[in-house]
Each structure stands twice: as structure tokens, then as C-alpha cells.
């Protein structure tokens, strides 16, 4: 049994405020902070190249830690700077023919949809949205009806940015694979708060960020690409790290996911991401998942007893994102009023998940996302503050 006090002691930021924005950008724990600052100091002493060489083993271990966390092998991981970079690099590396179909879901994230639309415009492919079922999850029957052998890619959002539902993955993968389509899982909001095993799920690729539920530094993210797939993909940019210049007129791309990486990177942030993943592995993803889901359920239950407050989460399986509105008060004003009381939440606006929000008649929702370091007292303070908004 982990000691909440110790987890909170490792998280200086949570002692001074009620922090409910791990779905935005979480509070990094002390080891992440020490790793990043320590490396920046070392770079200032000996220069970036020497400092990186000193940490070569630790840098290699970042991919190993991520691979352990999601059940992959290290060569299936590319370290990038955001989830959007990971998603768009994968989709841009696929060759689409005119008439090919890309299926997104009703809760698709805006940046992914924009990339899909750009790819479609450039190649003659089309983008279509699979509806949600009445529970809010992806409608598996509708997906089955929409799939045919022109579908090249199914994009599935594991956990949407604007609500706590967890979409079923294996069922989507099985259906897509029956038609030869690839599945790209947007695990930006699930990595670090939901156990993920890419081999068991069968996804072909996965995109994720470091700064949210993993509690890593900003400017970090990663792409998982199933090993048999990487060599057929053409990254938008290749350099001397992702490929080798082998003859005056020839180069050879790396056979694995590292072809998606560039040589230059923020080494301190990358080491910080490794420290964040190791911290989580030390805690255990099952502990984290259970603690997050339990806290979110308490927040949902508390909010739903408050007059004038509407909770908007859907889905059969739920996780750590709680979305709500307060009658007569703009979501942004709710966020500001809570900020005045040292309570951090954020707002998810219509354009981030255009199809879902429009379909549900929502313009903006307040998003509260408690990580495992949030205490019962924090939740009481938050609920009390929301109750006093009117």
C-alpha cells in the first residue's frame, strides 16, 4: 500500500493548491524536476554533447521504460515532442490512394482531425466519422457497417479530451483488421492513467504525450509503431539519426520506429520523461489507475448532488476526466472563480472535439482531472467551492 502523504510530499505543487488538471498538464514529481534541472545545469557546465554522452545509458533506457509501460519493445518506440507530432507523423507516413477511407470517431481530437483532413485533401482519400453509441462509446455496429476494404486507417481515441469515457480497443482492432485497415490509438489521455498493453490490444500504432497523466515535462511525447510495420512507413522528415547516408545517391532508413526521431532533441526533457515513467512504474499502473478512477468517481458523485451543476461524462468504463457545467456561469468564469481559490481546473471548448460537442449541444465544459496525489480534503475543498459559485 502506497502512502498518499509520501506521494504528495514528492509533488510540491499539490501542497499549495488543489490541482485538478492532469488531463491538461500535470504536476511533475520531484525526481522529474531534479532530473531536468540537473541535466540543464550539467549542460551549462560541460556543453550539451558531453552532458548527453554522460547520460547515454539513461537516454537509451527512456525507450525501455516506455516499452515496459505499454507492453512494447524499445525499438517500437519513437521519442517525439508531443502526441500531435506522434499522431501526425504516423498518418503522414502512410500512403493513401484516391478513394481510400480514413475513419475517425465522434470524439476525435481537433488536431488529429485537421491532419486527417489535410492528408485526405492531398491524396484523394476521404475522412468519415464513426458515430458514438447511446453510452457515448464508439458504436461498434456502426463501425462494422462502415468498414470495407477501402478503409485504410481507423483512428480511435482511447479517452477523449472532453470526458471520462474509455473506448473499447480490442473490438475496434478486430473489426478493422478483418478488413485490412490499420488502427492508430490516440492514447494521449489514457497513457499513465489506464493500463495499456499494445500486444494484447493489437493496435498498429499509438500516440501519447508526456506532460499529462505520465507527469513528465512539457514538450515530450512518443509514438509506438508495431515492429513489422515501421519499415513500410515514410516519415515526413528523415535525418542522420533516423537514416544513414550510405552512398552519394543513397540512404537507408532505420528499420524500426526510430526512423521517426530526429537527432536534435531536448535531452533534459527526454531524461525527465524517463524519470516520470520510472516513477510511475515504481508506483504501479494498476495502483495509479485505481486511485485516479476512484477519485474521479467521488468528484462526479459530489458534483451531481449540487443544484445547478450538470455532469457530462459518458461511457460504460470511466476514468479520471470529469466534465461539468454550472447553470448560468460560463465555463471560463467557473475556471477563474476556482483559480481565485487556488483550485486548478480547465475548460474544454467545442472546437477541440467539434463533432461530439456539437452533437451534444455543448459549447464548453469545465474539466476536472484528479491524479492519484489528490487528497479527500482537496476534493472536499473543490466541491465546496463549486457549491458556493451561485
Ligand X SMILES: Cc1ncc(COP(=O)(O)O)c(C=O)c1O
Q: How far is the CB of 369 from ligand X (least distance, A)?
A: 10
Q: In what order do the strands lie in the sheet with 205-209?
A: 77-80, 221-225, 205-209, 182-186, 151-157, 101-105, 126-130
Neighbours of 137 (CB within 10 A): 21
With CB under 6 A as the contact rule, the residue among 161, 325, 344, 346 that binds ligand X is 161
CA distance 51 to 284: 30
Cell (9 digits) for 241:
539519426
Interface with ligand X, residue 324, by CB under 6 A: no
Interface with ligand X, residue 313, by CB under 6 A: no
Interface with ligand X, residue 129, by CB under 6 A: no
CB 389 within 8 A of CB 44: no
With CB under 6 A as the contact rule, the residue among 132, 167, 209, 258 that binds ligand X is 209
Interface with ligand X, residue 115, by CB under 6 A: no
Length of the chain: 390
Q: Rounded to a whole number, what is the distance in angstroms from the first to the last CA of the chain?
A: 40
> Which helix (H) or strand (E) segment is 18 a member of?
strand 18-19
Binding-residue pattern over the window 244 to 283 for ligand X, x denoting contact by CB under 6 A: ----------------------------------------
Interface with ligand X, residue 347, by CB under 6 A: no
Binding-residue pattern over the window 71 to 110 for ligand X, x denoting contact by CB under 6 A: -----------xxx------------------------x-
| Between 84 and 132, CB nearer to ligand X | 84
Rounded to 10°, the helix 376-387/331-340 angle is 120
Interface with ligand X, residue 186, by CB under 6 A: yes
| Between 79 and 83, CB nearer to ligand X | 83
With CB under 6 A as the contact rule, the residue among 136, 221, 235, 302 that binds ligand X is 221
Cell (9 digits) for 145:
457497417
CA distance 344 to 95: 42
Residue span binding ligand X (CB under 6 A) among the ranges 42-50, 155-163, 247-255, 364-372: 155-163
Residue span binding ligand X (CB under 6 A) among the ranges 127-135, 157-165, 299-307, 322-330: 157-165
| Between 188 and 268, CB nearer to ligand X | 188
| Between 11 and 162, CB nearer to ligand X | 162
CA distance 169 to 157: 9
With CB under 6 A as the contact rule, the residue among 188, 343, 362, 383 that binds ligand X is 188
Long-range pairs of 171-174 with CB within 8 A, sequence gap ≥ 24? 171/140, 172/138, 172/140, 172/143, 173/201, 173/202, 173/203, 174/202
Interface with ligand X, residue 166, by CB under 6 A: no
Residues that bind ligand X (CB under 6 A): 82-84, 109, 111, 157, 160-161, 186, 188-189, 209, 221
Amino acid at each position: 500500500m502506497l502512502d498518499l502523504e509520501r506521494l504528495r510530499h514528492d509533488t510540491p505543487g499539490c501542497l499549495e493548491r488543489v490541482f485538478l488538471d492532469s488531463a491538461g498538464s500535470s504536476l511533475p514529481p520531484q525526481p522529474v524536476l531534479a532530473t531536468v534541472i540537473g541535466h540543464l545545469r550539467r549542460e551549462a557546465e560541460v556543453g550539451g554533447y558531453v552532458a548527453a554522452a554522460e547520460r547515454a545509458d539513461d537516454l537509451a533506457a527512456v525507450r525501455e521504460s516506455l516499452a515496459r509501460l505499454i507492453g512494447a519493445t524499445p525499438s517500437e518506440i519513437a521519442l517525439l515532442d508531443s502526441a500531435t507530432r506522434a499522431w501526425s507523423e504516423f498518418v503522414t507516413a502512410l500512403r493513401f490512394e484516391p478513394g481510400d477511407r480514413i475513419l475517425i470517431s465522434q470524439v476525435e481530437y481537433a488536431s488529429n482531425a485537421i491532419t486527417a483532413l489535410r492528408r485526405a485533401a492531398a491524396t484523394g482519400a476521404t475522412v468519415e466519422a464513426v458515430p458514438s453509441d447511446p453510452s457515448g462509446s464508439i458504436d461498434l455496429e456502426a463501425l462494422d457497417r462502415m468498414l470495407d476494404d477501402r478503409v485504410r486507417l481507423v483512428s480511435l481515441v482511447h479517452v477523449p479530451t472532453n470526458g471520462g469515457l474509455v473506448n473499447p480497443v480490442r473490438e475496434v482492432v478486430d473489426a478493422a483488421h478483418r478488413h485490412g485497415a490499420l488502427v492508430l490509438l490516440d492514447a494521449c489521455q489514457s497513457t499513465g492513467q489506464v493500463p495499456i498493453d499494445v500486444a494484447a490490444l493489437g493496435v498498429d500504432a499509438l500516440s501519447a504525450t508526456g506532460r499529462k497523466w505520465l507527469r513528465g515535462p512539457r514538450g515530450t511525447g512518443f509514438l509506438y509503431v508495431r515492429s513489422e510495420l515501421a519499415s513500410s512507413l515514410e516519415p515526413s522528415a528523415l535525418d542522420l539519426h533516423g537514416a544513414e547516408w550510405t552512398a552519394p545517391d543513397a540512404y537507408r532508413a532505420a528499420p524500426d520506429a526510430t526512423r521517426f526521431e530526429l537527432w536534435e532533441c531536448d535531452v533534459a526533457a527526454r531524461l525527465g520523461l524517463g524519470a516520470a515513467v520510472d516513477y510511475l512504474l515504481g508506483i504501479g499502473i494498476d495502483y495509479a489507475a485505481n486511485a485516479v478512477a476512484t477519485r474521479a468517481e467521488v468528484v462526479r458523485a459530489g458534483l451531481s448532488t449540487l443544484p445547478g451543476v450538470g455532469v457530462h461524462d459518458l461511457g460504460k468504463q470511466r476514468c479520471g476526466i470529469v466534465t461539468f457545467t454550472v447553470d448560468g456561469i460560463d465555463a471560463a468564469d467557473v475556471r477563474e472563480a476556482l483559480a481565485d481559490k487556488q483550485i486548478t481546473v480547465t475548460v474544454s471548448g467545442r472546437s477541440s472535439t467539434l463533432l461530439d460537442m456539437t452533437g451534444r449541444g455543448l459549447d464548453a465544459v469545465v474539466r476536472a482531472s484528479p491524479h492519484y496525489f489528490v487528497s479527500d480534503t482537496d476534493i472536499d475543498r473543490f466541491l465546496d467551492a463549486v457549491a458556493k459559485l451561485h
